A = this chain, B = another copy of it.
Amino acid sequence: MTLNSSGFGWISLTTDYGRSDAFAAALHGVIARTAPTVRVIDVTHEVRPGDVTRGAAVLAQTVPYLPESVHVAVVDPGVGTARRAIALGTPSGLLVGPDNGLLMAAADALGGITDAIELTNAAWHGERVSATFHGRDIFAPVASRLSLGAPLSDAGDAVAVGDLVRLPPPIVTRGEGYLEAEVLTVDRFGNVQLAATADDLARLGTHVTVGGMRAVRTTTFGEAPPGSLIVFGDSAGHAAVAINGGRAVVALGLEPGDVIRVATL
């Protein structure tokens, strides 16, 4: 992959750092010092602390809409332990972060892994590497160099793709007239996104039950009366549950990781 042959490029950041501390700003600063012409898009810094599954989902669903980038993701409860720091090549961008499963769904969304490198080249790291802030001291410095066009293979030693850590796949069961699916994420509006796809949903009837409650399969919020439960294919292509003008997550009493049944009525 030739990224930045013109010396211009993008880095995206996905972390659980929040914005009340200046951890995210330190990443911006390190990038600005090393690669001042590169521009940065904050995917989000509000992943729940340590929630690798959530970080993986939000990144994978966003990368298709970002420019070709070096995507840095840091949700890293194992920072400073033996977990590897890695960079992955794909047909349409690079990924940099911990080897804890965080990057894998995004790599799939970008066309699959073409190269995997452990970040063992200490010359690319910050001058002093702390034990607790590898985002600032390893991932951002490495991403900056990559964004300027340095070859991925110079970042360290090759790793076999099969040796990379993967998260367990989310639960989805498809049956005659029903599906059972894990809750993947809940968004700001209280809409509940399932691991099942919009296509899975299309196999069901127009009138369904969701977690035992009656719902209508529709395409958007406003098609149902205010307060009614709807199931629909969301903007990321997933099956989702919402309430027109309300918060489905409250009505259903769910959280990420729970499994819910949607069945034709």
Known contacts A25-B41, A36-B67; decide if A220 and B81 are in contact (CB<8 Å).
yes
A10 (CB) vs chain B CBs: closest residue? B32
Write out the residue numbers on chain B whose beta carbons fall within 8 Å of the beta carbon of A232.
131-132
- Separation of A221 and B78 alpha carbons in the complex (Å): 7
Q: Is A43 a contact of B61 with CB atoms below 8 Å?
A: no
- Separation of A79 and B235 alpha carbons in the complex (Å): 12
Q: Is B132 a contact of A49 with CB atoms below 8 Å?
A: no
Q: Is B222 a contact of A25 with CB atoms below 8 Å?
A: no
Is A257 an interface residue, CB under 8 A from the partner? no
Q: Assign chain A's interface to a size class.
A: 35 or more
Q: Is A188 a contact of B17 with CB atoms below 8 Å?
A: yes
Q: Is B132 a contact of A32 with CB atoms below 8 Å?
A: no
Is A258 an interface residue, CB under 8 A from the partner? no
Is A50 an interface residue, CB under 8 A from the partner? yes
- Separation of A66 and B140 alpha carbons in the complex (Å): 13
Known contacts A80-B219, A222-B78; decide if A235 and B132 are in contact (CB<8 Å).
yes
Q: State which residues 226-249 of A face B: CB under 8 Å.
A: 232, 234-235, 245
- Indicate which residue in B30, B130, B132, B188 contacts A21 across the interface (CB closer than 8 Å): B188
Known contacts A136-B235, A189-B49; decide if A80 and B41 are in contact (CB<8 Å).
no
Write out the residue numbers on chain B whose beta carbons fall within 8 Å of the beta carbon of A189.
49
- Separation of A80 and B222 alpha carbons in the complex (Å): 7
Distance in Å from the Cβ of A55 to the closest Cβ of chain B?
A: 11
Write out the residue numbers on chain B whose beta carbons fall within 8 Å of the beta carbon of A221.
77, 79-80, 132
Distance in Å from the Cβ of A158 to the closest Cβ of chain B?
A: 25
Complex A-B: 5 CB contacts under 8 Å: A12-B25, A28-B66, A29-B41, A32-B39, A65-B136
Which residues of A are at the interface with B, using a C-beta cutoff of 8 A? 8, 10, 12, 14, 16-23, 25-26, 28-30, 32-33, 36, 39, 41-47, 49-50, 58-59, 61-62, 65-67, 77-81, 130-133, 136-137, 185, 187-189, 219-223, 232, 234-235, 245
